């Protein structure tokens, strides 16, 4: 990249620099051991970054081209560096504390230099002018660069549309899962196309198109491209619907085979080096992006993104459990969103405990137990389960529905307890939503899901069967896939409140809901 005369000049330049540094550099200048992360990945540079006399982190120019994906050219007898990325063009001048961005001059407080015949440039100035976010963690002596710009909302809507075709009406879109252990996704239908991402065995796919034995797919992590058809099993391939009770019982119910991830539900979300907003940002995630959950601390999830471990606020993520292996059941590759109603922690205090029973039992606590048991069973049988909450953290109603739509969920189940002004009223009911614009297939699917879950609940809990009801709830109205809202029992009725206060009753309710959902997939036509 650097012609010979630059090297020669560099030696002279360096000699001068060395002299200057001996005389003028403060003691901490040139400190080594600076870590640089780009989008969560730690970057090692062939020339050690250092902090110059102006307290600026300097990196080799090659970092800019290789890690920030910019094009680098030398002009004017190797005195000027031209950096181009997308619509941005930056000009740097060796030895001058000034730069140009798209022709506009900007003063900077330190100059690019040659060091050991390598051009060193100020990291922050260059990265920020290229549109990246740069954060410095003084404790870790680390620079965190986020090169990502989260999609604008209008683009986002288009992407959502493509991801959410899961209803009966869209017959061209198929579903499947990856059968190879790690499989490339490419920009076109053949191995001669570039790799745009990778998926692991068992990862669910939405399949839009087929060409030359390759499928055009999107993944739940937002990767879009082509995958070799022979490494994918389409959902219709296996004999779904023939799964009897026998093989179901062979499957372990433990959850040790799951990975737990946090899905970002807001436009962009920060990962920080500690569990509060006072810690520096170490990475940025866009809506729909997933990070691995490692633990919890002070209302934050401890997560891993690439090589960075950090913290993300619970209020801006949903929790996803996915099985690591492929299960020979109708639930394999299915995405089920489980929505425990209400939830009371939002910055500022109590938001929505739901209904409260005569003795003070809160709906939000009851439905969480039910939801977790249902999710546990479904994920142990091969489904990917996404929870709108796993603790008291509240999620907005439209966010809950949007999460399911964005994720291309197969079903959405909202879990509640009923309440009435009359303490006499009791029983179990299940709601679904239909509209005039819905196709008959869609209506049938919703009604069928509701009927199966209601049947299992009444059978298991033995409460009065109040039947199926149509309800215009936001979470049902806004979800594009079959969705239901379960009213397990009346928390306002003293007898049923006592039952709901018993965790084993709640777990049985969760098991019944799971059985209804399993039957729905087993008998899916
Ligand atoms: Zn409720």
Per-residue pLDDT reduced to its tens digit, 145-204: 888 777 654 333 322 222 222 222 323 567 777 776 678 888 888 877 888 888 876 777
Among residues 518, 99, 510, 156, the alpha carbon closest in space to that of 331 is found at 518
* CATH number for the domain that contains residue 497: 3.40.630.40
Whether 307 and 382 map to the same domain: the answer is no
What's the CA gap between 340 and 415, in Å, rounded? 5
Helix (H) or strand (E) holding 443: helix 440-461
Whether 416 and 459 map to the same domain: the answer is yes
Listed in sequence order, the residues at least 6 apart from 100 whose beta carbon sits closer than 8 Å to its beta carbon are 90, 91, 106
Whether 307 and 363 map to the same domain: the answer is no
Q: 190 C-alpha vs ligand 1 centroid, how far in Å?
A: 50
Q: 475 C-alpha vs ligand 1 centroid, how far in Å?
A: 12
155 within a domain of the structure (yes/no): no
Q: 244 C-alpha vs ligand 1 centroid, how far in Å?
A: 34
Confidence class for position 244, pLDDT limits 50, 70, 90? very low
Domain span at residue 218 reads 172-234
With a cut of 50, say whether residue 228 has pLDDT above it.
Answer: yes
Whether 313 and 336 map to the same domain: the answer is no
Predicted local distance difference test score (pLDDT) of residue 31: 52
Q: 168 C-alpha vs ligand 1 centroid, how far in Å?
A: 29
Q: 364 C-alpha vs ligand 1 centroid, how far in Å?
A: 8
| Total structural domains within the chain | 4
Element counts in the chain: helices (H) and strands (E):
11, 33
Predicted local distance difference test score (pLDDT) of residue 348: 62
156 within a domain of the structure (yes/no): no
CA angle 240, 243, 248 (to 5 degrees): 130
Q: Domain end: 283, 304, 324, which one?
A: 324
Q: 268 C-alpha vs ligand 1 centroid, how far in Å?
A: 29
Whether 110 and 223 map to the same domain: the answer is no
Q: For the residues 32-58, what does the mean pLDDT come to?
A: 86
Q: 338 C-alpha vs ligand 1 centroid, how far in Å?
A: 14
Whether 214 and 283 map to the same domain: the answer is no
Provide ipTM, 2 decimals. 0.99
166 within a domain of the structure (yes/no): no
Predicted local distance difference test score (pLDDT) of residue 195: 82
Whether 348 and 230 map to the same domain: the answer is no
Alpha helices in 32-139 (DSSP H): 61-67, 123-129
Q: 488 C-alpha vs ligand 1 centroid, how far in Å?
A: 10
* CATH number for the domain that contains residue 204: 2.30.30.40
Whether 518 and 377 map to the same domain: the answer is yes
Q: 413 C-alpha vs ligand 1 centroid, how far in Å?
A: 13
Mean pLDDT, rounded, of the chain: 81
What is 160-227 written as a DSSP string? Answer: HHHH---STT-TT-EEEEE-SSEEEEESSSSTTSPEEEEEETT-EEEEEEEETTEEEEEETTS-EEEE
% residues pLDDT > 70 (the chain): 83
240 within a domain of the structure (yes/no): no
Whether 11 and 124 map to the same domain: the answer is yes
Q: 342 C-alpha vs ligand 1 centroid, how far in Å?
A: 6
- What are the beta bridge partners of residue 291? 262
With a cut of 60, say whether residue 322 has pLDDT above it.
Answer: yes
With a cut of 70, say whether residue 494 has pLDDT above it.
Answer: yes
Predicted local distance difference test score (pLDDT) of residue 453: 98
276 within a domain of the structure (yes/no): yes
Q: Domain end: 324, 341, 367, which one?
A: 324
Q: 287 C-alpha vs ligand 1 centroid, how far in Å?
A: 27
48 within a domain of the structure (yes/no): yes
Predicted local distance difference test score (pLDDT) of residue 26: 36
Q: 362 C-alpha vs ligand 1 centroid, how far in Å?
A: 10
What's the CA gap between 403 and 479, in Å, rounded? 9
Q: 472 C-alpha vs ligand 1 centroid, how far in Å?
A: 14
164 within a domain of the structure (yes/no): no
Within 13 Å and on the Cβ side, how many CA atoms surround 170? Answer: 17
Q: 371 C-alpha vs ligand 1 centroid, how far in Å?
A: 13
40 within a domain of the structure (yes/no): yes
Q: Domain end: 267, 295, 324, which one?
A: 324
* Parallel, antiparallel or unpaired: strands 483-490 and 411-418: parallel
**Do the Cβ atoms of 468 and 429 come closer than 8 Å?**
yes
Within 13 Å and on the Cβ side, how many CA atoms surround 477? Answer: 8
At residue 153, φ and ψ (nearest 5 deg) are -65, -30
Whether 61 and 120 map to the same domain: the answer is yes
Q: 19 C-alpha vs ligand 1 centroid, how far in Å?
A: 73
Whether 330 and 315 map to the same domain: the answer is no
* CATH number for the domain that contains residue 19: 3.30.457.10
Whether 511 and 407 map to the same domain: the answer is yes
96-140 pLDDT tens trace: 999 999 889 988 889 999 888 889 999 988 888 888 888 888 878
Tell me the two tokens of residue 305. 């993104």
């Amino acid at each position: 990249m650097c012609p010979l005369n630059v090297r020669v000049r560099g030696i002279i330049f360096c000699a001068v620099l060395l002299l200057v540094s001996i005389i003028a550099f403060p003691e901490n200048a040139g400190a080594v051991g600076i870590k640089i992360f780009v989008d969560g990945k730690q970057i090692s540079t062939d020339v050690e970054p250092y902090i110059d006399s102006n307290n600026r982190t300097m990196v080799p120019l090659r970092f800019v081209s290789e890690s920030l994906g910019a094009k680098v050219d030398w002009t004017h007898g190797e005195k000027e560096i031209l950096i181009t990325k997308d619509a941005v063009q930056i000009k740097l001048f060796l030895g001058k504390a000034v730069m140009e961005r798209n022709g506009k001059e900007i003063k900077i407080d330190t100059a690019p230099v040659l060091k050991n015949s390598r051009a060193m440039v100020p990291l922050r100035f260059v990265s920020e002018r290229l549109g990246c976010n740069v954060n410095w963690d003084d404790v870790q002596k680390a620079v965190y660069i986020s090169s990502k710009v989260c999609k604008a909302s209008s683009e986002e809507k288009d992407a959502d549309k493509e991801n959410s075709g899961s209803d009966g009406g869209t017959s061209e879109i198929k579903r499947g899962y990856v059968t190879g252990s790690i499989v490339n996704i490419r920009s076109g239908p053949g191995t001669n196309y570039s790799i745009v991402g990778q998926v692991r065995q068992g990862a669910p796919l939405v399949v839009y198109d087929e060409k030359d034995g390759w499928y055009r797919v999107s993944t739940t992590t937002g990767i879009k491209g082509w995958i070799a058809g022979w490494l994918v099993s389409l959902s219709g391939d296996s004999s779904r619907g023939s799964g009897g009770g026998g093989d179901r019982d062979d499957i372990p119910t433990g959850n040790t085979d799951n990975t737990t991830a946090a899905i970002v539900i807001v436009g962009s979300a920060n990962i920080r080096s500690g569990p509060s907003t006072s810690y520096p940002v170490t990475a940025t995630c866009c809506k729909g992006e997933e990070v691995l959950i490692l633990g919890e601390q002070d209302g934050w999830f401890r997560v891993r993104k690439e090589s960075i471990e950090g913290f993300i606020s619970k209020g801006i993520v949903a929790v996803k459990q996915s099985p690591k292996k492929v299960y020979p059941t109708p639930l394999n590759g299915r995405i089920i969103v489980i929505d425990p109603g209400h939830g009371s922690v939002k910055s500022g205090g109590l938001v929505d405990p739901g209904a409260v029973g005569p003795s003070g039992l809160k709906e939000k606590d009851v439905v969480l137990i039910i939801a977790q048991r249902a999710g546990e069973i479904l994920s142990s049988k091969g489904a990917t389960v996404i929870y709108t909450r796993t603790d008291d953290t509240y999620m907005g109603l439209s966010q809950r529905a949007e999460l399911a739509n964005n994720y291309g969920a197969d079903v959405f189940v909202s879990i509640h307890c009923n309440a009435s002004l009359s303490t006499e009223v009791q029983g179990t009911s299940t709601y679904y939503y239909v509209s005039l614009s819905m196709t008959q297939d869609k209506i049938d699917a919703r009604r069928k899901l509701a009927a199966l879950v209601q049947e299992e609940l009444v059978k298991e809990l033995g409460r009065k069967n109040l039947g199926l009801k149509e309800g215009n709830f936001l979470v049902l109205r806004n979800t594009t896939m079959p969705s239901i809202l379960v009213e397990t029992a009346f928390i306002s009725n003293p007898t049923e409140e006592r039952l709901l206060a018993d965790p084993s009753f709640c777990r049985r309710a969760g098991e019944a809901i799971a059985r209804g959902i399993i039957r729905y997939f087993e008998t899916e036509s």
